[in-house]
């Protein structure tokens, strides 16, 4: 467990902002969908691996690079917003751009420019034309014809190779001799490294020190020099841009460049060529926007009737928020489960295209992504990474929400660079995401025979998990999961419980329960002045010691639960005894530590299960 190795480390270079205190259990539900309005609350050489030893000297460079970047993009003023400020039901097509009439002549020039660039792309020197495959099981279940555009079958298991190579292949001989550099935590890095090997030029890849070993080793094996630098993508990018200037290397952006966008646009060109029947919609995963901008730039010029629908995780919705506000915004934090699309801001050029060409954005949960990974395995015996299954999750949610039947829809399966550690999480949440399993808590009298009576009330439903520990002479709280086939089955079981005076709570949507509390049953207690927080620890040696140096021995730690999910940040639930008069000092120290955190003291599930 890398995050808890007791090795002193230097402090982080850049400090992420403190998160607003808020409930993270995801229990908010909108029941009256017919009168639904989105919830919105905005706030203004030889391959080798290097770990930079001089982090303090880099700090000024990183700050200057990032500040310069932000200042150059500050007109109009940039909004910093929370992902929670724009949420709507899974499958709902939100963030529909407010289209304005563009300059006609300029629009024609841009349209023809991208169309020509996509048609003449050099991507096929290294990329393959991936198949468009029918998904019979999913199609039968949904009542629509689901087609999978298999970008996970590319040489580097991702579409990223198309854009990276298309840009690099257009570099002059002199530029190739000086080499290229990029910053990435995953698939873009492999695309650049593979392209550099094919073009016989040197490549330096800057990756955060929190990058999983499997990812940077894959890049290294392709012949690139990997530099592990900084705790975040921003720091790695600042390093890469500075080194680009110092050494004359060409910086290869992951999405925000016309040649990169055009390379990704070849995916759309192939879909139109391969799909002979009328097409209702193409679902595209969205991170920085390179893929959806390229696909839309082609599709909307040759088949404008086809909907181009972006799909984002609900906790990494930078494009949806940018389209909603009509300008690019910066997320104050971003969820890391689908790390391939976990970006805080979309590209300038990609946003310019998307606000004119896309039809909206669907948001999906982590559970839904896990369910789609399982769907893909059952369809093709292939395992997608979370970002790779994002479009499939969006297609399923959209078709269910709007009752689409008999249409042809395409989902781009965009990547298969799965971190193996994440598979445990996927298997635990897949059935929840597919609505085949529910997580419940029931309060029952602590008396002989109550457990037997409880099981009789569960009836024909299968108990898949059950957790209980004696804590009171009067009543017991049990946490359990049940398999279900329909919502009516679950409702009927809950009605049986309620009619027998057994209060039952549906906790299926609570991430706090699924990530932490299900493992802490039996540890019920009332701790005086306990502040309950969720922290995101960077997955690197010494992260725990930095945390302890910040808070201990100043305050007593009353609870600690770490659960690795194969992400760049570890999800940690912490209880600390802090009196109300000391809360300002606590927040000050937490902000100085620099780990994203949120106070969740008033979470109903925690009170039910742990107090």
Instruction: Indicate which residues carry an active-site annotation.
Output: 160, 414
DSSP-derived letter for residue 501 is T
Cα four-point dihedral sign 590, 591, 593, 597: positive
Separation of alpha carbons 353 and 355, rounded Å = 6
Q: Is the CB of residue 470 less than 8 Å from the CB of residue 477?
A: no
Please report, for residues 194, 479, 504, the alpha-carbon distance to residue 490 in angstroms, rounded to integers and kept in the order given.
Answer: 50, 15, 11
Q: Is the CB of residue 422 less than 8 Å from the CB of residue 497?
A: no
165: which residues sit within 8 A by CB, 6+ positions away?
Answer: 122, 123, 125, 126, 127, 191, 194, 195, 198, 199, 263
DSSP-derived letter for residue 75 is S
463: which residues sit within 8 A by CB, 6+ positions away?
Answer: 455, 480, 481, 482
311: which residues sit within 8 A by CB, 6+ positions away?
Answer: 283, 284, 285, 286, 361, 362, 363, 364, 390, 391, 393, 394, 395
Backbone angles phi, psi at 32, to 5 degrees: -95, 85
Q: How far is CA 120 from the centre of its chain?
A: 32
DSSP SS3 for 442: strand
Report the 10 Å Cβ neighbour count for 531. 22
DSSP SS3 for 558: strand
- Range 198-204, long-range pairs (CB < 8 A, 24+ positions): 198/125, 198/126, 198/165, 199/165, 199/168, 199/169, 199/171, 200/176, 201/168, 201/176, 201/177, 202/45, 203/179, 204/179, 204/180, 204/240, 204/243, 204/249
Separation of alpha carbons 512 and 534, rounded Å = 9
225: which residues sit within 8 A by CB, 6+ positions away?
Answer: 45, 46, 47, 48, 49, 50, 202, 203, 204, 205
Q: Is the CB of residue 122 less than 8 Å from the CB of residue 389?
A: no
Separation of alpha carbons 306 and 225, rounded Å = 42
Separation of alpha carbons 72 and 148, rounded Å = 39
Q: In terms of DSSP H, where are the helices of 187-232?
A: 187-199, 213-221
Backbone angles phi, psi at 16, to 5 degrees: -70, 155
Separation of alpha carbons 234 and 343, rounded Å = 10
Q: Is the CB of residue 607 less than 8 Å from the CB of residue 29?
A: no
Q: Is the CB of residue 458 less than 8 Å from the CB of residue 440?
A: no
Q: Is the CB of residue 244 less than 8 Å from the CB of residue 65?
A: no
536: which residues sit within 8 A by CB, 6+ positions away?
Answer: 336, 569, 570, 571, 572, 595, 596, 597
């Amino acid at each position: 467990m890398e995050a808890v190795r007791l090795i002193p480390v230097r402090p982080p270079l850049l400090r992420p902002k403190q998160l607003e205190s808020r409930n993270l259990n995801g229990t908010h539900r909108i029941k009256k969908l017919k009168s639904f309005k989105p919830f919105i609350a905005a706030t203004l050489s030889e391959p080798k691996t290097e770990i930079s030893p001089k982090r303090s000297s880099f700090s000024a460079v990183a700050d200057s690079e990032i500040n310069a970047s932000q200042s150059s993009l500050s007109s109009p003023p940039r909004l910093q917003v929370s992902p929670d400020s724009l949420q709507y039901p899974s499958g709902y097509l939100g963030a529909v751009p407010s289209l304005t009439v563009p300059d006609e002549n300029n629009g024609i020039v841009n349209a023809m420019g991208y169309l020509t660039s996509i048609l003449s792309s050099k991507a096929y020197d290294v990329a393959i034309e991936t198949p468009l495959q029918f998904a019979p099981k999913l199609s039968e279940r949904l009542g629509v014809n689901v087609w999978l555009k298999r970008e996970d079958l590319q040489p580097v298991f991702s579409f990223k190779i198309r854009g990276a190579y298309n840009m690099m292949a257009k570099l002059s001989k002199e530029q190739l001799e000086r080499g290229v550099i990029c910053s990435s935590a995953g698939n873009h890095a492999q695309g650049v490294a593979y392209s550099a090997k094919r073009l016989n030029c040197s490549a330096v890849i800057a990756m955060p020190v929190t990058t999983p070993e499997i990812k940077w080793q894959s890049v290294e094996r392709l012949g690139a020099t990997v530099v592990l630098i900084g705790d975040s993508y921003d720091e790695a990018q600042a390093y890469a841009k500075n080194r680009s200037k110092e050494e004359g290397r060409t910086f290869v952006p992951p999405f925000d460049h016309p040649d990169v966008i055009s390379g990704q646009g070849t995916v759309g060109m192939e879909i139109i060529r391969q799909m002979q029947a009328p097409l209702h919609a193409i679902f595209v995963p969205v991170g920085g926007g390179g893929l959806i901008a390229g696909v839309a730039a082609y599709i909307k010029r040759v088949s404008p009737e086809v909907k181009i629908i972006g799909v984002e995780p609900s906790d990494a919705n930078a494009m949806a928020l940018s389209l909603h506000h009509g300008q690019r915004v910066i997320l104050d934090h971003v969820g890391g489960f689908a790390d391939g699309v976990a970006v805080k801001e979309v590209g300038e050029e990609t946003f310019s295209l998307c606000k004119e060409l896309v039809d909206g954005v669907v948001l999906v949960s982590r559970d839904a992504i896990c369910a789609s990974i399982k769907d893909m395995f059952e369809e093709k015996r292939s395992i997608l990474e979370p970002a790779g299954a994002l479009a499939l999750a969006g297609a399923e949610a959209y078709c269910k929400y709007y009752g689409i039947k008999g249409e042809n829809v395409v989902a781009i399966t965009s990547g298969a660079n799965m971190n193996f550690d994440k598979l445990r999480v996927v298997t635990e949440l897949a059935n929840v995401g597919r609505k085949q399993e529910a997580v419940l808590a029931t309060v029952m009298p602590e008396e002989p025979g109550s457990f037997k009576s409880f099981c009789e009330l569960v009836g024909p439903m299968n108990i898949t998990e059950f957790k209980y520990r004696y804590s009171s002479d009067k009543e017991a709280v049990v946490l359990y999961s049940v398999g279900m086939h329909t919502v009516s089955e679950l409702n009927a079981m809950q009605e049986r419980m309620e009619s027998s005076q057994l209060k039952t709570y549906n906790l299926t949507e609570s991430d706090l329960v699924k990530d932490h509390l299900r493992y802490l049953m039996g540890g019920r207690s009332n701790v005086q002045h306990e502040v309950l927080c969720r922290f995101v620890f960077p997955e690197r040696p010494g992260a725990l010691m930095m945390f302890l140096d910040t808070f201990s021995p100043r305050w007593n730690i009353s609870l600690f639960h770490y659960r690795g999910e194969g992400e760049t940040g570890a999800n940690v639930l912490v209880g600390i005894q802090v009196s109300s008069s000391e809360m300002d000092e606590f927040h000050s120290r937490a902000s100085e530590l620099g780990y994203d955190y949120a106070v969740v003291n008033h979470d109903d599930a925690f009170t039910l299960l742990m107090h």
